[in-house]
Structure 1
Amino acid sequence: MAASLDPFLARTRIAYLSMEMALHPGIHTYSGGLGVLAGDTARSAADLELPMVFVTLASREGYLRQEIGQDGRQVDHADPWEPADWASPLDAAVAIRIEGHSVWIRAWLRVLTCPLGHRVPVLLLDTQLEVNAPEDRGITDRLYGGDEVLRLRQEAVLGIGGERMLRALGFEIETYHLNEGHAALLPLSLLRRHRLASDRPAEGPLRYDPDPVRERCIFTTHTPVEAGQDRFPYGLVERILGDFFETDQLRLLAGEEALNMTRLALSLSGWVNGVATRHAETTRRMFPGYRINAVTNGVHVPTWAHPAFARLFQEIAPNWAHEPEGLARADRLPDTAVLAAKAEARAELLAEAHRRTPEAAAALRPDLPLIVFARRMTGYKRPDLLFSDLGRLREIAERSPFQVLVAGKAHPRDDVGKELIRTLQDHAHQLGGAVPVAFLPGYDMALARLMVAGADVWLNTPLPPMEASGTSGMKAALNGGLNLSVLDGWWVEAWEEGVTGWAVGRDGEAPGDHAGHLYEQLEQAVLPLLHGEPARRAWMMKQAISRIGAHFNSQCMMRRYAAEAYLR
């Protein structure tokens, strides 16, 4: 696969770095929402002809291939892919010092092309080189694999190595956009170079002048809780990075007790944003003294619209893929056409469910309302909230039958998440035929496309305020799915009760009351609509498309980044 950087070097001025990036279902360089967002960002950058280059890790062994064992537990496997099948090797290599010796990094080039023919380059950093010591070759192999030692080594490759690779390839970058704190060593690298080139030291405790670096760096933070941020003991930092940066100076930028990558990125970025209005508010409380803007995430409409809905969109807005705001006209669509498109998407999803789990999916039917929950399997997402009271659930289903599909991977070291997967299947077994429930293994970009399109109701039950944004519900709404969600993340902005979907609980309500309110909504609002009010249901589906799809998309998001962050 031959490709060249020549068409991009002269015009590219913005670099976007992300530890993970969902470029294609066959390229296993992502684990979940962060990577899918990065991929949608790149796709919209191509659509809008933004002068950008994207940088991530090659992750040859992927994140994980999920298998469900006989006992219902997740079994982790590597999920390898071959870069040579999807990308072109570039004739450049750079070295960084890790644990006192050189580690060499090469780059693969993947070019994303939009339907209009516009393109953006993506660089995949790879340490799998014979020149490297055997223990260094696998640094970039497994996404989020290993312990904190490997994580810091990976983040050094992304941040320090990524910045050096861009220069070595001939890019003249003016603005660096850090997608989460994993790339925070990049502005530190810029600061170090600026200090070495300066004739005079900065004044005050910090002997480096951070202002020139801040002018060039943008930071998007995604993690709304302290526990989710990468922290590294300074002893480990000194062992891995050596004298790359003085520890006493690093403490002033990244925290006294440990190197906090989020705080480092905040300290060295001149423009910072959260990924939803609510998330920005939460981040301001966590990090007082920093100006935190809000740019709510969006999804790439042509990537996530099911072909049945894409045909309808073409009728009302021929340029919908490039200008999704045209979807505001979705209220003009015939009710029968919208319901038929959903039936087509639902049938495709159910067929995939029967293929993946024939025994568990045997009771699924095309004529029953379908509730879908597909998230990363971890405690704060509360995937078991729907099953808090199995007796109540049976009573509701007896009057208004429905069925449930669940999917999601647990991080290899998240024992709570793995136990939740097993527990969910226990609940499905206990419910028997009263409520057909199937867990679909191997949740990835390809399965996600089917699930967001086929869901009648998209269920989301995070523990507030731990949802940064969330984008899967946006994708469901784009396909006429109705959100039933806790008021957190993006849903606070999009929720219109009985119009775009429904809230689980009230804003600020004690989380312990959410299960009861979820059952009330199912019993009194959601299922009666799906069973007996086709006209109202079609109207709500069209409202979801027109009010959410036309606004919560990555074209809108990238136009905001360009106007407010890149051109500041």
Structure 2
Amino acid sequence: MTTERRIAYFSMEIALSEELPTYAGGLGVLAGDTIRSAADLRVPMVAVTLLHRKGYFDQRLDADGWQSEQPAEWSPERHLVEQPPRVSVEIEARTVQLRAWRYEVAGVGQFVVPVYLLDTDIAENGEWDRKLTDTLYGGDDHYRLCQEVVLGMGGVRMLQALGYAKLQRYHMNEGHSSLLALELLDEHVAAAGRTQSNRDDVIAVHDKCVFTTHTPVPAGHDRFSQEMAERVLGSALNSHDQDIYSHDGRLNMTYLALNLSHYVNGVAKKHGEVSRHMFAKYQIDSITNGVHAATWTTRPFQQLFDQHIPGWREDNFNLRYALSIPHNEILETHGRAKKALVEYVNRETNAGFNEDVLTLGFARRAATYKRPGLLLEDAERLLELSRKHALQLVFAGKAHPRDQTGKKLIQHVFQQAKQLRPSVNLVFLPNYDMRLGLLITSGVDVWLNTPQPPLEASGTSGMKAALNGVPSLSVLDGWWIEGCIEGVTGWGIGERQRDERPHECAENDACSLYGKLEDVVLPLFCRDRDGFAEVMRHAIALNGSFFNTQRMMQQYVLKAYFP
């Protein structure tokens, strides 16, 4: 029953299924995996997001690797059920009507977590307002702030209209939904018959809210000018002390969430430490991200685990028993996953990939700090490596439509690919999404990740790879600081403690990367398949069994929801 739900989970993007383009990348996939594990564990949760009729975007790459975008339109009527209630929010003194569509996420025991997708495309609204929930991360700051009013304030009102009267916790997945806290504050003020919030109201809301921050990059925190905030929100700000929502004279969604949450966490141990330095006045814990094991394990490995580890879906920690699976079965199962990837690459690109060649995978959002070109930094060194051992490289990832630097990073990979052929076979696969993500993370032999420390909050792609027996070769940042046991679960790039400037850091990391490939990874793969299979087995048993959203959700329940 709706009245039994006690936790409301808010996220600007949620990856619900391959068919619904309602997510851009890691944040949305994490949100979807969180909800799937909540359903598996029967956590009394309900979730809220926006509909995004035009999705994020379909990525088109021309012959030179320049990205263009097309709307990823889809039909809500085919996948969702429209709900009867209507609620409204005030935006720039206009009344904007909202409706909600319901999607049900069923767990392994058929417990359901309902997800409500808010939609302003209804006849009662003006033309501009009807498009407010169309595009994920689209438009300018003004469009974004109006979307966040719909998500945060509209989401709280919609849940009430739908009958969720006993909610005890509101979990903000990143700061996009922080206005929900302001809405809850307004409710307390109105219930007390006052016009101005006081300390008791703040404490009451503080006890209800949970905030997860996902980025140590300043640009990742939503901030809006005071003038725009007052214009869009109007009287909604007048009832509250400006210190609650303002920082450096701007409406700051991160500080709003920090000020009104009883529990705040980063998404890896290192990220928690970095966040405590960024926001020194606040108590910030850490809960390391995970991935939903059943979703991100490819069919061949699902079948292998069903045979050797029955019950792994219900209790992911059972994956530690992968240590008993024979090497030859691990290698044969991975071979089936790799065959699927190679066939896809050859069908889509005519690249002539070979199933026997060591294949490295790199698939992330194209952003400067993720350094997608680090492996390609020294083309001569890479060519020299390929003369000793054959190499294949698979790249994928989208740049934000307004991120010209990110688009140039993709183009640079294309240019380097031309320079390296035919000695090194490199492909860039467009439209990185859940389907392609599973194909790549399960089909490559080694997962590569090269962020500039300490800017990787967590990262989850390597966790998906680990579930499929694919070890990581990654910079020691984010989750990999916790997951890397050198030579056992994979291999680290660079040092754990560093003092270098970014340019020196890139040079040293590139040198470390080439050295690990030449001296360790390639010889092990080519000359000692049992040794390589042992690393694969430990990636599953040690990393797959721990870095999952089942463990993560249990930590949220104990630390944040019902401490």
State the TM-score, normalized to the length of structure 2: 0.97
Q: Do the aligned residues in 2 keep the contact of 1:529 with 1:537 (CA within 8 Å)?
A: yes
In structure 2, what is the Cα distance between the partners aligned to 1:201 and 1:91?
Answer: 31
Residue 353 of structure 1 and its aligned partner are, at CA, apart by: 1.4
Q: Equivalent residue for 1:122? A: 115
Q: Is the 8 A contact 2:57 2:70 kept in 1?
A: yes
SS in 1 for 2:89: strand
Q: SS at the partner of 1:405? A: strand
Residue 27 of structure 1 and its aligned partner are, at CA, apart by 0.5
- Is 1:547 aligned to residue 536 of structure 2? no
* Paired AA for residue 557 in structure 1: M
Q: Which residue matches 2:517?
A: 522
- Matches of 1:251 and 1:562, distance apart in 2: 30
1:303 matched to 2:298: no
Matches of 1:286 and 1:184, distance apart in 2: 18
Structure-2 residue corresponding to 1:215? 207
Work out the CA distance in 1 between the residues paired with 2:562 and 2:308: 33
Q: Is the 8 A contact 2:64 2:414 kept in 1?
A: no
Counterpart residue number, 1:477:
466
Contact 1:251 1:258 in 2 (8 A): no
Residues 250 and 355 of structure 1: CA distance in aligned 2, closer, same or farther (over 3 Å): farther
SS in 1 for 2:4: coil
1:74-223 to structure 2, matched below 5 A, reads 74-172=67-165, 173-198=167-192, 209-223=201-215
**Matched pairs, number:** 556
Say whether the 8 Å CA contact 1:105–1:127 is kept in structure 2.
yes
Cα distance in structure 1, aligned partners of 2:28 and 2:194: 41
Shift of 1:522: 0.5
Deviations 1:436-478 (A, max 9, x none): 0000011111100101111211000001111110111000011
User: Pairwise mapping of residues 281-292 of structure 1 onto structure 2 (< 5 A)?
Assistant: 281-292=273-284
Q: Any idea what the Cα deviations from partners look like across 1:357-393, whole Å, max 9, x if unmatched?
A: 22xx23x111101100000011110000000000000
| Runs of 4+ with deviation above 4 angstroms | 199-203
Aligned match of 2:338: 346
Alpha-carbon distance in 1 for matches of 2:239, 2:380: 58
Deviation at 1:252, TM superposition (A): 4.1
Assess if the C-alpha contact under 8 Å between 1:202 and 1:208 holds in 2.
Answer: no
SS at match of 1:346: helix
**Contact 2:244 / 2:255 at 8 angstroms: preserved in 1?**
no
Secondary structure, in 3 states, of the residue corresponding to 1:411?
A: coil
| SS state at 2:19 partner | coil
Q: Whole-Å Cα distance in 1 between the matches of residues 179 and 42 of structure 2? A: 28
Aligned pairs for 1:433-452 within 5 A: 433-452=422-441
Q: Distance in 1 between matches of 2:346 and 2:138?
A: 32
Does 392-401 or 208-217 show the bigger shift?
208-217
Aligned-residue sequence identity (percent) comes to 47
Residue-by-residue CA offset, 1:406-429 (whole Å, 9 max, x unaligned): 000000011011011111011000
Give the Cα–Cα distance (whole angstroms) in 1 for the partners of residues 313 and 199 of structure 2.
Answer: 49
Deviations 1:330-374 (A, max 9, x none): 01001111001111101101111123222xx23x11110110000
1:391: which partner in 2?
380
Give the Cα separation in 2 of the matches to 1:105 and 1:493: 43
CA distance in 1, matches of 2:238, 2:3: 35
Contact kept in structure 2, 1:207 and 1:249, CA below 8 Å: no
Q: Sort the Cα spacing of 1:212 and 1:64 in 2 relative to 1 into closer, same or farther, 3 A.
A: same
- List alignment gaps of at least 5 residues for structure 2: none
CA distance in 2 between counterparts of 1:384 and 1:299 reads: 26
The alignment status of 1:556 with 2:551, answered yes or no, reads: yes
Q: Secondary structure at the residue paired with 2:37?
A: helix
Q: Equivalent residue for 2:49?
A: 56
Q: CA deviation at 1:257?
A: 1.8
Q: Provide the TM-score with structure 1 as the length reference.
A: 0.96
The CA distance in 2 between the partners of 1:71 and 1:430, in whole Å, is 13
Aligned partners of 1:18 and 1:200: how far apart in 2?
A: 31
Q: CA deviation at 1:118?
A: 1.5
Deviation (angstroms), 1:256: 3.4
Distance 1:351 1:246 in 2: 60
Q: How far has the Cα of 1:315 moved from its partner?
A: 2.1
